[in-house]
Amino acid sequence: MMLASDLTKYTIFILLVFLSACTKNRFPNIVSAEEGMVSKCNYVDTISEVSDPGKMVFPAKYSNPYDGELKVLERASNMGASHIVWWYNYPIGSSASAYRCAD
Domain tally for the chain? 1
Domain housing 45: 29-100
Q: What is the DSSP-derived secondary structure letter of residue 27? A: -
Strands 83-90 and 93-100: antiparallel
- Asked if residue 16 belongs to a domain, the reply is no
- Asked if residue 12 belongs to a domain, the reply is no
pTM attached to this predicted model = 0.64
For the chain, the residue count is 103
Per residue in 47-87, pLDDT tens? Answer: 998 876 665 555 555 555 567 888 889 899 899 999 999 99
Any idea what the CATH number is for the domain that residue 53 is in?
3.30.1660.10
- Asked if residue 92 belongs to a domain, the reply is yes
Per residue in 3-60, pLDDT tens? Answer: 567 778 778 877 766 666 555 556 567 889 999 999 999 999 999 988 766 655 555 5
- Asked if residue 8 belongs to a domain, the reply is no
